[in-house]
Amino acid sequence: QSLGAEFLEVAFKEEGAGSGGYAKVMSKEFIEAEMKLFAKQCEEVDVIITTALIPGKKAPTLITKAMVESMKPGSVVVDLAAEQGGNIEVTQPGKAIVHNNVTCIGYTDLVARMASLSSTLYSNNITKFFNSIGPKDRLHIDFNDEVVRQACVTHANDLMFPPPPLSAASSAATSGKKQEVKKALTAEEKFAIADEKAKLSTRGGAMAWTVGMGTIVALGACNPGAEFAQLFTLFSLAGMAGYHVVWGVTPALHSPLMSVTNAISGLTTVGGMVLLGGGLLPTTTAQAFAAGAVVISSVNIAGGFLVTGRMLDMFRRPTDPPDYSMYYAVPAITFGGGYLAALYAGVPHIQEFAYIGPALACISSIGGLSAQTTARKGNVIGVVGVSAAVLATAANMNYSPEVYGQMLAAMGVGGGIGLVIANRIAVTSLPQLVAGFHSLVGLAAMLTSGAVFLGDPATVAHSNVHAVSTYLGEMVGAITFTGSLIAFGKLEGILKSNPIELPAKGLLNLTMLGVNMAGLAVFINDPISTMGGAALATSAGVSSLMGLHLVASIGGADMPVAITVLNSYSGWALCAEGFMLGNKLLTMVGALIGFSGGILSYIMCEAMNRSLVNVVFGGSNTKTRSQGTGEAMKIEGTHTETDVAAVAESLTQAKKVIVVPGYGLAVAKAQYAIADMAKILTDHGVDFKFAIHPVAGRMPGQLNVLLAEAGVPYDVVHEMDEINHEFETTDVALVVGANDTINSAALEDPNSPIAGMPVLEAWKAKQTVVIKRTLGTGYADVNNPVFFKPSTNMLLSDAKTACEGLRSRVNDIISQ
């Protein structure tokens, strides 16, 4: 009981004392009740050890074959009565067998085995003790260390036992020795380092601007026309706005950012709306494509904004003020009413101005996610902007009542599906939802390009700009569509997360790109001919295969980058629609989303010290930018295991605790138990915080959302750069389901595949506890030295089971 165990009582009262100090044979009724208790326990526990013996008789059977078969796969039963026939029906004396995925140990020589096991455990403790005395490359007696001082008997011919007071021992050990002092940098050395950094930074920025300015001049020299110049101007300004706005979004809100840009990218519905025709139903293939684009895009709009709202509501704290978003109905009504009045009054150029409001609202929507206090307002502003864009498009079309009915039906069906999906989706499935919504944007872009080609060939043939835009819309849409489906399959577990490593995969990607470029040349030459149609269809097929191959070649650890890249692709597909249709709104919003996804991809790659090309085309276990050319460092030593009771004791005695959650926490759904434990310890006076790595989970910001859903206040959840320096003053660092993001090889081994990757330095805490199923590698397939450090204890268990056990034990200790 002192270790946390509990006694089980049979639900049947009967005195068991017999004569001569032995128990008597119990009644049939008692034995039946006892067996019922055992059967119930077998379904719940993972390990059973039996010891029941009767002098001079065969050991009684306590665990039947059926009970063993009811245990969870991977369980273990140990029969210490095996020599007398055993307490477990399936026991084979002298052997260890596996029955129905349960290991049954029936060794009869366990006593003989104990000597070597005891020696191993004792020698492990002695080895760990010596390894803890100073750095690993030399022995250093530090009398300021309480354990070393108490263990030392003699030193330098002096008797040190019983140990003298700390000050005397310290002076005896340090007399005559020079203190090592780290050389401080001189003013000249500091200036040289700062000068080199400034030079590299300025040179990089100058090169980027050189490429950008040169591209603008080159485009102008091609004389693409006034319409292209106007669209490109809007594209550039919106892209620059998106670039600066996204940098201001707090990392904790990257998941809502992905979701809200998903909803905004649903403006592909505008492309479908302007191409509708027929009556209540489409009458041509082109019209059917357009209607399909409206349905699919409406799923994104309704589902994306609802999911964003759900996520942001999870971040609300009880002390937060009420939400007054209903006031934004005033600008929505003002815009809608004023626009409709001006349109039907025949005000010239009102349509040109009508798209400025929605575009500014979409930019402001993303800007609102820069802080928790304005995030919900940003989502509402996004709803206003997209709604205004749809209204401005629909009112300007002059369709028949039947076509307007078709439009409303398509949007209603799509929006209804989106709302149902967004309401039912679990928080742990948000990455899959985002990937699925990305695929819808890609498909909508494909359908719109197809509808323009089939239903309005004059637009395609109007200029090379329109032809190229139509082709790129089909190409980028196809890559986004199939690539997002693969991402969805990997995240949902339908497909394996391991990357596909096809022979000469780089050459395969280049070949598919070459086929697309050749098709583009054919399409530009004569876009409305049979050859042009064949080129467009070929591009759709080849690009679909390219999307499949690109994302299938990306491993599970790189899925956060894959998701952000696909988000960027969806923006470029929308942008291509804008140039194709001459629509300024789609051009601006597409550039906004394309650049925002690109910036997020860059942030994720920087968090892994990888380049974007390396992630997208590299596959698995590829080098970081800092990896050397030598062999990776071999990990030596043994790990130390612990249990729930010991960890709970450490947590209750600690003054400061930092939890490092990983994807394992999300999969096991352990966030609720961790949140409860955090509240218990915080109320107990413990300084309790969470540390989030930028690429933890399978989508940027996913773990922030999971913790918010469990009720963890966002002000105790910190990003890596904010909290890394605090581990050195932390009593316990509790790592739950994380591996690569705390791998010290990134900093200690220049030849490691993850060398230079920024990591959470959890091993610097006074005690590090890692909750993990096994000692296996993470998605990066790199061994973790942290598991074998002297200050690390491994709690090998399922995250949910361990966290629930810790919550219960911590609560019991504090309640005593």
Instruction: Please write the tens of the pLDDT for every residue from 677-701.
Output: 999 999 989 999 999 998 887 778 8
Label residue 769 by pLDDT band (50, 70, 90): very high
Q: What are 146's two structure tokens?
A: 């309480």
Label residue 618 by pLDDT band (50, 70, 90): low
Q: What is the pLDDT of residue 167?
A: 53
Q: In this predicted model, what pLDDT tens digit does every residue of 10-23 receive, in sequence order? A: 877 777 665 554 56
pLDDT of 556 strictly over 80: no
Judge whether 532 and 522 are in contact, CB under 8 Å: yes
- How far from 498 is each of 487, 551, 553, 559, 688, CA to CA, in Å? 12, 11, 8, 11, 35
Judge whether 509 and 550 are in contact, CB under 8 Å: yes
Q: Checking phi first, is residue 660 left (phi over 0); if not, alpha (psi -120 to 50) or beta?
A: beta
Handedness of CA 757, 762, 766, 771 (dihedral sign): negative
The sheet with strand 96-99 has its strands ordered as 47-50, 76-79, 102-105, 96-99
Q: What is the pLDDT of residue 2?
A: 66
pLDDT of 179 strictly over 80: no
| Distance separating alpha carbons of residues 690 and 708, to the nearest angstrom | 12
Cβ neighbours around 142 below 10 Å, total = 14
pLDDT of 318 strictly over 50: yes
Q: What are 14's two structure tokens?
A: 């009967």
- How far from 524 is each of 495, 528, 574, CA to CA, in Å? 38, 9, 20
DSSP 8-class letter at 23: B
Q: Which segments within 385-434 are labelled E, that is strand?
A: none
| Distance separating alpha carbons of residues 261 and 723, to the nearest angstrom | 29
pLDDT of 102 strictly over 60: yes
Q: Is 602 a catalytic residue?
A: no
Cβ neighbours around 267 below 10 Å, total = 31
| Single-letter residue type at 699 | M
**Which of 81-90, 175-184, 197-206 comes out lowest in average pLDDT?**
175-184
Closest by Cα among 780, 742, 784 to 761? 742
The total number of residues shown for the chain amounts to 816
Q: Is 324 a catalytic residue?
A: no
**Which of 216-230, 311-325, 608-622 comes out lowest in average pLDDT?**
608-622
Q: What are 319's two structure tokens?
A: 């002390």
Backbone angles phi, psi at 188, to 5 degrees: -65, -40
Angle at 384 between CA 378 and CA 385, to 5 degrees: 90
According to the per-residue pLDDT averaged within each range, which of 290-299, 566-575, 593-602 is highest?
290-299
Q: Is 663 a catalytic residue?
A: yes
**Which of 56-65, 242-251, 259-268, 434-443 comes out lowest in average pLDDT?**
242-251
Q: What are 414's two structure tokens?
A: 């799509």
Judge whether 799 and 666 are in contact, CB under 8 Å: no
| Distance separating alpha carbons of residues 781 and 754, to the nearest angstrom | 10
Q: Which of 663, 672, 714, 807 is catalytic?
A: 663
Q: What is the pLDDT of residue 233?
A: 85
| Distance separating alpha carbons of residues 130 and 636, to the nearest angstrom | 15
Q: What is the pLDDT of residue 384?
A: 94
Q: In this predicted model, what pLDDT tens digit does every residue of 485-534 receive, in sequence order? A: 998 888 887 888 777 878 888 888 899 999 999 999 999 888 878 888 89
Q: Which of 471, 672, 714, 779 is catalytic?
A: 779
pLDDT of 344 strictly over 50: yes
Q: What is the pLDDT of residue 565?
A: 87
Judge whether 60 and 87 are in contact, CB under 8 Å: yes
| Distance separating alpha carbons of residues 475 and 137, to the nearest angstrom | 58
* 3-class SS of residue 154: strand
Closest by Cα among 806, 736, 664, 801 to 47? 801
- How far from 42 is each of 35, 37, 67, CA to CA, in Å? 10, 9, 6
- Collect all residues with Cβ–Cβ distance below 8 Å to 55 and sequence separation of at least 6: 22
Judge whether 488 and 436 are in contact, CB under 8 Å: yes
**Which of 35-39, 178-182, 746-750, 754-758 comes out lowest in average pLDDT?**
178-182
Label residue 176 by pLDDT band (50, 70, 90): very low
According to the per-residue pLDDT averaged within each range, which of 152-156, 242-246, 455-459, 741-745 is highest?
741-745
Label residue 625 by pLDDT band (50, 70, 90): very low
* 3-class SS of residue 794: strand
Q: What percent of the chain has pLDDT over 70?
A: 92
pLDDT of 356 strictly over 80: yes
Q: What is the pLDDT of residue 718?
A: 92
Q: Between these two residues, 740 and 428, which has the higher pLDDT value?
A: 740
Label residue 482 by pLDDT band (50, 70, 90): very high
Q: Which of 149, 376, 610, 698 is catalytic?
A: 698
Judge whether 129 and 148 are in contact, CB under 8 Å: no
| Distance separating alpha carbons of residues 78 and 662, to the nearest angstrom | 34
| Distance separating alpha carbons of residues 526 and 453, to the nearest angstrom | 12
Strand partners, 425: none
pLDDT mean over 158-184:
55
Q: Provide Rg for the chain, Cα atoms.
A: 33
Judge whether 305 and 621 are in contact, CB under 8 Å: no
- Assign 3-state DSSP to the chain and report helix, strand, coil percentages, each to 5: 60, 5, 30
Label residue 620 by pLDDT band (50, 70, 90): very low
For residue 659, the surrounding DSSP H or E stretch is strand 656-661
Average of per-residue pLDDT values in the chain? 84
Label residue 704 by pLDDT band (50, 70, 90): confident
Q: What is the pLDDT of residue 184?
A: 60
Alpha helices in 132-253, H assignment, sequence order: 146-151, 166-174, 187-221, 226-247
Work out the end-to-end distance of the chain between its first and last CA atoms, rounded to an integer number of angstroms: 14
Strands 687-692 and 717-719, how do they pair?
A: parallel
Judge whether 671 and 707 are in contact, CB under 8 Å: yes
Judge whether 532 and 526 are in contact, CB under 8 Å: yes
Q: What percent of the chain has pLDDT over 90?
A: 33
Strand partners, 79: 50
Judge whether 91 and 100 are in contact, CB under 8 Å: no
Q: What is the pLDDT of residue 175?
A: 43
Angle at 377 between CA 365 and CA 604, to 5 degrees: 50
pLDDT of 170 strictly over 60: no
Closest by Cα among 499, 490, 558 to 700? 558
| Distance separating alpha carbons of residues 569 and 482, to the nearest angstrom | 12
Judge whether 85 and 57 are in contact, CB under 8 Å: no
For residue 671, the surrounding DSSP H or E stretch is helix 671-683
- How far from 795 is each of 316, 640, 774, CA to CA, in Å? 33, 9, 9
Q: What are 390's two structure tokens?
A: 């749809």
Q: In this predicted model, what pLDDT tens digit does every residue of 386-405 receive, in sequence order? A: 999 999 999 988 899 999 99
Cβ neighbours around 196 below 10 Å, total = 10
Judge whether 299 and 440 are in contact, CB under 8 Å: yes
341-378 burial, b for 16+ CB within 10 Å, e for fewer? ebeeeeeeebbeebbebbbebbbbbbbbbbebeebbbb
Backbone angles phi, psi at 564, to 5 degrees: -70, -35
